[in-house]
Structure 1
Amino acid sequence: MPNAPALLRPLLIAAGWLCVGLGVAGIFLPVLPTTPFLLLALWAFARSSPRFHHWLLSHQWFGPLLQDWERHRVIPIRAKLLAVAGMSGGMIWVTFFSAAPWYAAALMGVTVAYGAWFVLGKPSRRPDGLP
């Protein structure tokens, strides 16, 4: 049962689908992350739509990763490496190859550092020892 107020549910569903779209785009665009958007979508759907939440958890490609996150707060080592590599690549591109102002690059650096700290701080294996 969704736990968001009835008026908020359509907004959460829309945000969930926006995050799914951004997550899928992140598969093809190296600067855009996939996993954080899918986790946000999972969060939004959990509060607004059992149907979409179940769909995302049972998705052929995203489901296993999201199930491990929801049940055990686990991020597999491969996802960690891809996330940190993508964040680092994006940071290098913005810093050295874009016309972004220094304060935008600095803000991105702080955001990337927090994202890397968060991702790397989570366990890589489930409590039962399985990857």
Structure 2
Amino acid sequence: MVAIYWRILASLSLITGFIGVLLPGLPTVPFILVAAWASSKGWPRLENYLLGHPKFGDDIRQWRGGGYVRRRAKYMATLLIGLSMLLLWMSQANSWLAIIVTLICTFVLLWLWLRPEPQH
């Protein structure tokens, strides 16, 4: 019975990740990583599919192997988060909301840039 919850989480994460491929600003890889993690708990077939996927398989294995994040992914995340912050500040959003979101995004980017990069 517990496996169904892992499958639901894996499915929702995978769907959200694939939506992120189409929508700028919505990250893809973190949701794929969650899908791989959840599928490892109760859906080995999906986990094997994700590990063998030509686009995401390497990222999943590198993350599992030591929390590695490719430099290109860091640049892309920085660019998209920066663009999102620019749009937020140009919008009619509440100033406090913009400040809080900006602080959170700054800490996320700091954490991301402190992740090790794979050695090729």
TM-score band by shorter chain is: 0.7 to 0.9
Say whether residues 1:104 and 2:92 are aligned partners.
no
Q: Which amino acid aligns with 2:64?
A: E
Relative to total residues, which structure has the larger helix share, 1 or 2? 2
Structure 1 segment 48-63 matched on structure 2, within 5 A: 48-63=42-57
Alignment check: 8 A CA contact 1:30 1:86 kept: yes
Q: Which amino acid aligns with 1:117?
A: L
After TM superposition, what 4+ stretches of structure 1 lie above 6 angstroms from structure 2?
none
Aligned to 1:46: 40
Say whether residues 1:90 and 2:84 are aligned partners.
yes
Change (3 A) 1:58 1:91: same
Q: Which residue, out of 101, 108, 115, partners 1:115? A: 108
Structure 1, unpaired ranges of 5+: 1-5
Q: Percent identity?
A: 26
Alignment check: 8 A CA contact 1:46 1:53 kept: yes
Q: Distance in 1 between matches of 2:57 and 2:66?
A: 14
Give 1:99 shift: 2.8
CA deviations 1:40-81 (Å, max 9, x no partner) are 212211222211111111112111111111123110100111
Q: Distance in 2 between matches of 1:86 and 1:41?
A: 22
- Count the aligned residue pairs: 120
Q: Distance in 2 between matches of 1:49 and 1:26?
A: 22
How much is the aligned-residue C-alpha RMSD, in angstroms?
Answer: 1.6
Give 1:11 shift: 2.1
Give 1:23 shift: 1.4
Alignment check: 8 A CA contact 1:75 1:122 kept: yes
Say whether residues 1:13 and 2:18 are aligned partners.
no
Say which SS state the counterpart of residue 93 (structure 2) adopts. Answer: coil
Alignment check: 8 A CA contact 1:30 1:90 kept: no
Q: Distance in 1 between matches of 2:6 and 2:100?
A: 27
